[in-house]
């Protein structure tokens, strides 16, 4: 892919590392000369030390052939302008960090795929790790739902019956759905006859009010342990 990444701070630097590591063609636009020099010396990418809100800079970056523009600066105003300019050039994929939730509707109107305030996301992960230690990872889908990854303990109720029976028997609440099972190197599509086994990493779509019931079904106590 041909990617333009605006901003090379902590978020941008990690993104640049991943994108170049996967062999993508990456152009970075960064105003800070010292940061731009560091990125240029570290990664296999073209770095422009310039203001990305200037249309000619995006053109110099090759925006007309870009498959995605990703803006990661600390200023929503800059990110908004970059997204507007990228939209004018019909870039297929527009992605931006949004720091102030009040600005989200603006980005949505532009048609941007939003990454909400990364500091809030980090705080959310830390809170979940404390509140639900049994949950290995999660992804919020909105105010009420999320995907969680969890391993069943030996003797957990969810391992005793096929998935076709776990709701009828009250083992899993109706607001929980087993979406995927990673078993060794394989990822299984859950079916009615599938039974969760110890050692599986199970992805569950769950309403936030049902998380504790799901933890109990997987053999974790009220603290998620």
User: What is the phi/psi pair of residue 109, to 5°?
Assistant: -65, -30
Is pTM beyond 0.75 here? no
Class of domain 121-217: alpha beta
Is the Cβ–Cβ distance between 73 and 50 less than 8 Å? no
Burial of 102 (0-12, 13-18, 19+ CB in 10 A): exposed
Q: What is the pLDDT of residue 208?
A: 78
Q: Enter the CATH code of domain 2-116.
A: 3.40.50.720
Strands 25-29 and 46-48: parallel
Which residues, listed in sequence order, are joined to residue 6 by a DSSP beta bridge?
29, 71
Rg (CA), the chain: 22
- DSSP label at residue 103: G
Q: Do domains 2-116 and 121-217 have the same CATH topology?
A: no
- Rounded distance, CA 87 to CA 187, Å? 37
CA–chain centroid gap for 200, Å, is 22
Token output for 212:
């504790």
Render pLDDT for 178-213 as a digit per residue (tens, 0 to 9).
999 999 989 999 999 999 999 999 999 998 788 899
Is the Cβ–Cβ distance between 30 and 49 less than 8 Å? yes
> Which residue is it, tokens 């979406």?
179
Render pLDDT for 165-180 as a digit per residue (tens, 0 to 9).
999 999 999 889 999 9
Render pLDDT for 60-74 as a digit per residue (tens, 0 to 9).
999 999 999 999 999
What residue spans define the domains of the chain?
2-116, 121-217
- Rounded distance, CA 214 to CA 102, Å? 33
Q: Has residue 224 got a pLDDT over 60?
A: no
Which residues, listed in sequence order, are joined to residue 204 by a DSSP beta bridge?
148, 178
Strands of 25-29's sheet in order across: 46-48, 25-29, 2-6, 68-71, 93-98, 113-116
């Amino acid at each position: 892919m041909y990617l333009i990444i605006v901003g090379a701070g902590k978020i941008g630097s990690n993104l640049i590392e991943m994108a170049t590591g996967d062999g993508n063609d990456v152009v970075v636009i960064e105003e800070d000369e010292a940061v731009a020099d560091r990125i240029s010396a570290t990664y296999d990418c073209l770095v422009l030390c310039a203001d990305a809100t200037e249309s000619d800079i995006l053109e110099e970056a090759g925006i007309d052939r870009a498959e995605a523009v990703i803006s990661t600066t600390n200023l929503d105003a800059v990110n908004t302008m970059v997204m507007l300019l990228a939209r004018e050039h019909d870039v297929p994929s527009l992605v931006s960090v949004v720091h102030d939730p009040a600005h989200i509707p603006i980005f949505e109107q532009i048609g941007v795929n939003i990454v909400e305030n990364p500091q809030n996301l980090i705080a959310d992960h830390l809170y979940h790790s404390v509140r639900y230690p049994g949950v290995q990872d999660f992804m919020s889908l909105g105010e009420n739902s999320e995907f969680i990854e969890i391993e069943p303990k030996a003797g957990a109720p969810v391992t005793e019956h096929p998935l076709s029976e776990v709701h009828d028997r009250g083992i899993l609440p109706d607001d929980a759905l087993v979406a995927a099972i990673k078993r060794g190197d394989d990822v299984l599509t859950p079916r009615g006859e599938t039974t969760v086994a110890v050692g599986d990493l199970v992805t569950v779509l769950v309403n936030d009010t049902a998380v504790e019931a799901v933890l109990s079904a997987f053999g974790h106590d009220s603290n998620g342990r």
